[in-house]
Amino acid sequence: MGQIKSEIIAVGTELLLGQIANTNAQWISQQLALSGIDVYYHSVVGDNLTRVYEQFLQASKRSDVIIVTGGLGPTDDDLTREAFQRLTKLEMVEHKASMEKIASFFRKQQNKMTPNNKKQARTFAGAEVIKNNVGMAPGMIVTHQGKTWVFLPGVPKEMKPMVTNHVLPALTKRTGEFSIIRSTMLQFIGIGESRLEHELKPIIDQQSNPTIAPLAQDNGVAIRITAKADTSKKAEQLIQQTKTQILDGVGQYCYGVDNETLEEKVFQLLKEKDWTLAAAESLTGGMFSDKLVAIAGASAVFSGGIVCYDTKVKENVLHISPATIREKGTVSEACALEMAANVRKLLDSTVGISFTGVAGPDTIEGQQAGTVYIAIVTKNGNEQAEKFTFAGDRAAVRRKAVIKGYEILFNYLKL
Amino acid sequence: MGQIKSEIIAVGTELLLGQIANTNAQWISQQLALSGIDVYYHSVVGDNLTRVYEQFLQASKRSDVIIVTGGLGPTDDDLTREAFQRLTKLEMVEHKASMEKIASFFRKQQNKMTPNNKKQARTFAGAEVIKNNVGMAPGMIVTHQGKTWVFLPGVPKEMKPMVTNHVLPALTKRTGEFSIIRSTMLQFIGIGESRLEHELKPIIDQQSNPTIAPLAQDNGVAIRITAKADTSKKAEQLIQQTKTQILDGVGQYCYGVDNETLEEKVFQLLKEKDWTLAAAESLTGGMFSDKLVAIAGASAVFSGGIVCYDTKVKENVLHISPATIREKGTVSEACALEMAANVRKLLDSTVGISFTGVAGPDTIEGQQAGTVYIAIVTKNGNEQAEKFTFAGDRAAVRRKAVIKGYEILFNYLKL
């Protein structure tokens, strides 16, 4: 078991000005922890050649694996390559595939490539080049004087797939055997964090491996189970046992494992029943529909929706009766039920869901910001509507309404 | 003008495990930048006495002001005091007011105070003690061998009021006169980062104050202008001059300043013209509409939309002609134009916009993932449609399509 020391260096003045948080270091640390690689330091240094060089020099003395994010772009501010070259005197070469990709990008855009873009295709001789499937600059893994250096772009969506698909497998191979940590998350909704912790207290108290930690989330609560073992098989067995114990107690609130989302669960439940869904969205303005369409294959269960933010659209497209609007208002149980029933019929679906309410900051029809009605109506005649009062600003009210909509569907469909 | 160098050190293994992001460093950096204090480094080190000590030793050599967060709590893992004592040999004393507060807390809770809690009241002799109005451990400002050390709790709600009310005023006083830093961002779309830098190269090369830095963003590109001066008025004048120079060159691509979003700009332009907008969304599934509804007061310009993810909805609700679907397919310029025209009519709006395409991963009607048509049709008979090929996964294709839709509207409405 050769335990290796790693550190993460982020290069970028924008971090030192506080314009963004170093979430890259957080995410990479999580991934390394799961692979059993200890992280000893995070550092952030600005776009300054001497200071980046000095940070690299220090890292070369104290760590086995050094992961560097940022500073690989085309501009004069991007100095990661230059600083590493000053440290190692390694030769740089043009990486053909990357250069071809950059040139082709500019051809497709019918834009002239400015000379500074060529810099992004420059890699260290002997480096393992990691293809960038999202942006321009490739990543690199360089071995130098027994140390492993990993260079990654600072843009998270370019960096993350490189870590998952290349860096972790490469590091695991290089470091050989080490103690394995495996972790899983169980996702719950409809039960509070303290209630969940209370129900699970006997299990939590008797456990040390795996450990069980409740975490408040935007979408309900999660339980993280973390097991250590010599082999991944043993670690996974430990997790499986604890998972079964937990689900025996509070399984009815569990909608998913790891990164499974509530909308994915609703998608699956609809698919199992061979049902389709249609949405009428007022204050949520398309956010509910967007989350379903984000799932590949959504068309199998999602017919579509009407964003009826304007009252005229409620009347003219959704055909809400003028009497309902006059007598009950658009923010009412009656209107929510008609919206759900009519969108279901209009889009010829099994279930209709509707959202109407006051996102704020202003009141509507004398109702306070945060007041929201959500209704579901099914083809076989079930209908339910509920009133909610959500705290927070406009964005929070809209987000909470959408999550609650999925919770209502989850509770209805799981039966 | 004594420009001082500062750095921020966070102590805590939870950061190195990726359980939380170092948002403290981000927030403190923002505060220091506004006070004209340069931050040169962020570091994170775990709860290990030797490593914390070494980090402190390094900081004492390279920075004038060292801000340390975390490691002041009651447990054996909290080692900030011990590490600083090892470095400075300063004596520690019990801070009476803090000790009394801790004791009173345990009395109120009718809990026995465990001895380790006393540790939280220990402060360095000669330190300026900062009261903790939220939690237990006080903060400290210590001057040692010409360097200013600031020790703060790691819990953000305890740390932040200490910085605002004590640390910033104290640093300002100690450093005497210093330069003010002001920063602004100009947001661009329709011009790439390297092209923008190329166009602005003459301005960038001749400038040292303000500095001009291009930044790639999800929504186009931004230029950060940062000016230093003795007074905020002078700093703002410098920014204004540079802003005018930049906008003279590439102003037609600029949609906003600082945090203004592209959708807010589109919202404003619609409002100025007193126009309304309706959206027909297939692959974007409500995401375009959601971004507009997120803006307070959106109802003045946004009628609503149809999420026509399913072909049946395109036919039955949007009334796309069967001939178009049969002969051209749903992913076609003809279909996009009909969608935009029909949603505009159906929702009685000035402008209709439509999105149809292949989000992926699968192909549709023989068209590759990433193929997207976007059309706009106006009441006064203007119509335009364009085909795009977006790279990336399903989420990227959908996001890029939505941004492109706003870009098309921006270009059309700004004329």
Q: What percent of chain B has pLDDT over 70?
A: 97
Do residues B261 and B292 make contact, with C-beta atoms less than 8 angstroms apart? no
Q: Please write the tens of the pLDDT for every residue from B240-268.
A: 999 999 999 899 999 999 878 999 999 99
Do A207 and A332 reside in the same domain of the chain?
Answer: no
Among B236, B257, B278, the domain boundary falls at B257
Among A257, A273, A290, the domain boundary falls at A257
Q: Please write the tens of the pLDDT for every residue from A359-395.
A: 988 888 889 999 999 999 999 999 999 999 998 889 9
Q: How confident is the model at residue A106 (pLDDT cuts 50, 70, 90)?
A: confident
CA–CA gap between residue B6 and residue B174 (Å, rounded): 13
Partners of B59 in the beta sheet?
A: none
Do A242 and A287 reside in the same domain of the chain?
Answer: no
Residues 232 to 291 of B: which have CB under 8 A from any A CB? 279, 281, 283-290
Do A168 and A33 reside in the same domain of the chain?
Answer: yes
**DSSP H helical segments within B109-231, as ranges?**
156-162, 168-175, 193-206
The CATH number given to whatever domain includes residue B212 is 3.30.70.2860
Do A327 and A208 reside in the same domain of the chain?
Answer: no
At B251, list the tokens.
């102003």
Give pLDDT, residue B1. Answer: 35
At B379, list the tokens.
């009441």
- Minimal Cβ distance to A312: which of B195, B308, B348: B348
Give pLDDT, residue A356. Answer: 97
Identify the CA nearest to A44 among candidates B31, B22, B335.
B22
The CATH number given to whatever domain includes residue B348 is 3.90.950.20
Tell me, yes or no, if A310 comes closer than 8 A to chain B by beta carbon: yes
Among A205, A225, A257, the domain boundary falls at A257
Do A223 and A247 reside in the same domain of the chain?
Answer: yes
SS3 letters for B382-393?
Answer: CEEEEEEECCCC
Q: Please write the tens of the pLDDT for every residue from B148-181.
A: 999 999 999 899 999 988 898 888 776 554 467 7
Handedness of CA B43, B49, B51, B54 (dihedral sign): positive
Tell me, yes or no, if A108 comes closer than 8 A to chain B by beta carbon: yes
Mean pLDDT across chain B, nearest whole number?
90
Q: Which residues of chain B carry a pLDDT beneath 50?
A: 1, 177-178
Interface test with B, best of A17, A30, A284 (most B CBs within 10 A): A17
Per the rule left: phi > 0, alpha: psi between -120 and 50, beta: everything else, A329 is left
Do A231 and A376 reside in the same domain of the chain?
Answer: no
Task: Give the rounded distance of the alpha carbon of B27 from its chain centre.
Answer: 11
Mean pLDDT across chain A, nearest whole number?
90
Q: Please write the tens of the pLDDT for every residue from A188-224.
A: 998 877 778 888 888 888 877 887 877 666 677 888 8
Contact across the interface for A290 and B285, Cβ inside 8 Å = yes
Residues of A in contact with B40 (CB under 8 A): 16, 45-46, 51
Residue B396 burial (10 A CB sphere; 0-12, 13-18, 19+): middle
Tell me, yes or no, if A396 comes closer than 8 A to chain B by beta carbon: no
CA–CA gap between residue B17 and residue B26 (Å, rounded): 18
Distance from CA of B289 to the nearest CA of A (A): 6
Do A53 and A24 reside in the same domain of the chain?
Answer: yes
Number of domains in chain A: 3
CA–CA gap between residue B160 and residue B133 (Å, rounded): 11
The CATH number given to whatever domain includes residue A135 is 3.40.980.10
Strands ordered across the beta sheet of A383-389: A383-389, A371-378, A351-357, A277-281, A302-307, B302-307, B277-281, B351-357, B371-378, B383-389
What domain range includes position A207? Answer: 180-257
Give pLDDT, residue A36. Answer: 74
Do A24 and A154 reside in the same domain of the chain?
Answer: yes
Do B376 and B308 reside in the same domain of the chain?
Answer: yes
Distance from CA of B117 to the nearest CA of A (A): 24
ipTM of the complex: 0.71
Strand positions, DSSP E, A50-110: 65-69, 92-94
Do residues B29 and A16 make contact, with C-beta atoms less than 8 angstroms apart? yes
- Minimal Cβ distance to B29: which of A17, A43, A312: A17
Do B171 and B277 reside in the same domain of the chain?
Answer: no
Distance from CA of A76 to the nearest CA of B (A): 10
Task: Give the rounded distance of the alpha carbon of B239 from its chain centre.
Answer: 21
Do B99 and B142 reside in the same domain of the chain?
Answer: yes
- Minimal Cβ distance to B293: which of A44, A134, A286: A286
For B389, the closest chain A residue by CA position comes to: A108
Q: How confident is the model at residue A176 (pLDDT cuts 50, 70, 90)?
A: low
Non-local (6+) Cβ contacts of B332 within 8 A are: B324, B356, B373
Identify the CA nearest to A184 among candidates A210, A162, A220, A207.
A210
For tokens 């949603």, name the residue. B343
Per the rule left: phi > 0, alpha: psi between -120 and 50, beta: everything else, A186 is beta
- Minimal Cβ distance to A16: which of B40, B292, B310: B40
CA–CA gap between residue B88 and residue A195 (Å, rounded): 47
Non-local (6+) Cβ contacts of B288 within 8 A are: A286, B279, B281, B305, B353, B355, B402, B405, B406
CA–CA gap between residue A210 and residue A180 (Å, rounded): 12
- Cα angle A335, A340, A341 (rounded to 5 degrees) comes to 95
Do residues B180 and B198 make contact, with C-beta atoms less than 8 angstroms apart? no
Distance from CA of A248 to the nearest CA of B (A): 27
Do A299 and A402 reside in the same domain of the chain?
Answer: yes
